[in-house]
Amino acid sequence: MKLTVIGTGYVGLVTGACFAEMGNNVVCVDSDTSKIEALRKGVMPIYEPGLEDIVVNNMKERRLGFATSLADPSTEAAVYFIAVGTPPGEDGSADLRHVLDVARELGKRINDYAVIVDKSTVPVGTAERVEATVREALRARGAEVPFDVVSNPEFLKEGAAVEDFMRPDRIIIGTNSERAQELMRELYSAFMRTHERVLFMGVRDAEMTKYAANAMLATKISFMNEIANLCDRLGVDVESVRRGIGSDARIGYGFIYPGCGYGGSCFPKDVDALIHTAKQATFETKVLHAVQATNAAQKRVLFAKIIRRFGGSLNGRAFGVWGLAFKPGTDDMREAPSVVLMEDLIAAGARVKAYDPVAMATARRQLPASWFNDGLLELVEHPYDALVDVDAMILVTEWKPFRNPDFGRMKRLMKTPVIFDGRNQYEPDALQAAGFEYVGIGRTNPLGAAATGTSSR
């Protein structure tokens, strides 16, 4: 099938490359000329495991191409995927300018029946606005071309986006058109060799499903972080609690790992957008407001623990930070807890040494130049370089190489053997036995003793 994907960010590039991998002819369009030139040379604009190989291989097979404009004849297609950014506005609403700009351009270009797919995460009612925009552009040129607008939200995890696309647990398609439904079923048939994964529903239902899914996951994270903070005050080990409730099939283990808050381009933005949508419908989303507030506070929990340990002023102290990306498997630092932590540390007078396996270039681009120029932040080439003469190590992102480090070497390098574990990755009793002072999230009671001091083992 001939496909065109507009936008080459996480969603657009993964969508285009994976459809090409399944035998379709795909052109990805982006107005950023430098990005397109780089992609044609096989240089990826993002870090995503497995993506580069798929892009390069499908370019070689001539199933995947790139263009800078829909005016390029190569972009004519049966299905157009809109996968441009929807950044949050000041009021938390999703900015749909880029989506509607693409719709307007498609209205100027299409000559035969086409399916226009909203792949970007967009508020309920966006498909209707896209349809109206396309029709307006068609009327302006005096053309009558049949088309359908479909909602097909993505459910890709950064760091596992290729795997998620190639082996989806569900494919949500919102359409009221039988013609569009059959075309989309045919397109996704290659992904359903073992069992049916497509769920058809109304367009507005599909739009809401995407927001509800991300809001639910964000809610689970914030709930567990709140439980962890309570555990800190009650002398309870949240790891035992996590295993206890996760074993309940109604709850499960997914997204109940306490930590220093969630970040990225999806959860914060989508929770904000859903709150804004509810406000427009004169409905107060009390739970989502609490999720939002809890996460904002959680990003400062590690700093609060550091202040309690070292005092209000951190002048003259140095801290080693392991992990800058908002999660493992990506170089994305949008809304990352590491940024909030470093802001607080530097404001309190501390110096920071930081390391991340893949997000170093992102950090150099996005973090304040003054931090580097004034010697407040040093990005080091090796994780152990971040520990030389520091007062404590702070784990922020749970990358696999950080799971089983050389603790003996760490202790020799550090000025003070203190570890603040923002992801509860380490076993407190083992670190304490090795001579470290350990501070986790809700792990004040690692041996399982009750608040009264009696043992539960």
**In whole angstroms, what is the distance from residue 111 CA to residue 118 CA?**
19
Q: Are 137 and 124 contacting, i.e. CB atoms less than 8 angstroms apart?
A: no
Residue 90, CB half-sphere, CA atoms under 13 Å: how many? 0
| Res 88: pLDDT | 84
Q: What residues have CB less than 8 Å from 196, skipping those under 6 apart?
A: none
Q: What does the alpha-carbon distance between residue 83 and residue 153 come to, in Å, rounded to a whole number?
A: 10
CB–CB of 242/256 below 8 Å? yes
The pLDDT score that the predictor gives to residue 453 is 37
- Rounded distance between C-alpha atoms, residue 292 and residue 275, angstroms: 10
Give me the pLDDT at residue 185, please.
Answer: 95
φ, ψ of residue 190 to 5 degrees: the values are -65, -20
- Residue 266 is among the residues annotated as catalytic for this protein: yes
Tens-level pLDDT at each residue, the chain (457 residues): 999 999 999 999 999 999 999 999 999 999 999 999 999 999 999 999 999 999 999 999 999 999 999 999 999 999 999 999 988 888 888 899 999 999 999 999 999 999 999 999 999 999 999 999 999 999 999 999 999 999 999 999 989 999 999 999 999 999 999 999 999 999 999 998 777 899 999 999 999 999 999 999 999 999 999 999 999 999 999 999 999 999 999 999 999 999 999 999 889 999 999 999 999 999 999 999 999 999 999 999 999 999 999 988 899 999 999 999 999 999 999 999 999 999 999 999 999 999 999 999 999 999 999 999 999 999 999 999 999 999 999 999 999 999 999 999 999 999 999 999 999 999 999 999 999 999 999 997 543 333 333 333 3
Residue 157 to residue 330: CA distance in whole angstroms: 10
Whole-number Å distance between alpha carbons of 338 and 343: 9
pLDDT score at 451: 37
CA-wise closest residue to 226 among 256, 267, 268 = 256
Which is the catalytic residue, given 18, 28, 260, 266? Answer: 266
Quote the CA–CA distance of 85 and 175 in Å, as a whole number.
22
204 residue type, one letter: R
- What gap in Å lies between CA 207 and CA 117, rounded to an integer? 12
Handedness of CA 95, 96, 98, 99 (dihedral sign): positive
